[in-house]
Amino acid sequence: MARMKFLCDADRCIECNACVTACKNEHEVPWGINRRRVVTINDGKPGERSISMACMHCTDAPCAAVCPVNCFYTTLDGVVLHSKDLCIGCGYCFYACPFGAPQYPKVGNFGSRGKMDKCTFCAGGPEADGSKEEYEKYGANRLAEGKLPLCAEMCSTKSLLAGDGEIIAQIYRERVMKRGYGSGAWGWKTAYRETIES
């Protein structure tokens, strides 16, 4: 089986935010929630870099470890998903996540947390693949249709890569070799406890 991962080549990202928009549109993500965002570090200064970030679908995912109701599960492809039927909106996954991926729609009084929402690697949720219920809760299930996440598929500079970790690491390694430089696979050490040698 593949082990799905994201990789953002910061030397290619031009902060166009198309991945953010594509994600919102594809999954009809509610207002106020961004499953993916682009962060620019040292904005306007020499050496600035932009990185597109979403849930990294960590190995030994911290969100799953701290969830009080154990609503997370990892698919055979290594994608970390959760059940909104079981989620109680306590906020714990959000304290544990290194990437700020889990978010909560504000529901009820005092803006209390609703069911958690995060990137699904375009793989839906526990409902039947491609069902209406699945779409309403988690968005499109592109993986079940044999497609990769839309954010990476339509990235104009092919900065954002999504797919089997071995393959995207190889693509990145070749790029670095060819152009002679690379600022590394951002977040990989935190998420997967490994880096790409270049």
Nearer to other proteins, 23 or 152 (CB): 23
**Which residue stretch of 63-71, 117-125, 134-142, 159-167 sits at the interface with other proteins (rule: CB under 8 A)?**
63-71
What is the C-alpha to C-alpha distance for residues 124 and 114, in angstroms, rounded to an integer?
18
Question: Which residues are within 8 A (CB) of 178 and not within 5 positions of it... i.e. 6 or more apart?
Answer: none
Q: At closest approach, how far in Å is the CB of 143 from other proteins?
A: 24
Residue 49 near other proteins by CB under 8 A: yes
Nearer to other proteins, 38 or 143 (CB): 38
Q: Which two three-digit tokens encode residue 91?
A: 């906020």
**Element housing 113 (H / E):** strand 112-113
Helix residue ranges, H only, the chain:
18-27, 62-66, 92-96, 132-138, 150-153, 165-179, 188-192
Site string for other proteins, 115-154 (x = CB under 8 A): ----------------------------------------
Other Cβ atoms less than 10 A from the Cβ of 154: the count is: 15
Q: At closest approach, how far in Å is the CB of 19 from other proteins?
A: 12
Nearer to other proteins, 71 or 143 (CB): 71
Residue with tokens 């991926």: 101
| Amino acid present at 132 | K
Residue 186 near other proteins by CB under 8 A: yes
Site residues (vs other proteins, CB under 8 A): 10-11, 15, 17, 20, 32, 34, 37-43, 46-51, 53, 62, 65-71, 85-92, 94-100, 110-113, 180-184, 186-187, 189-190
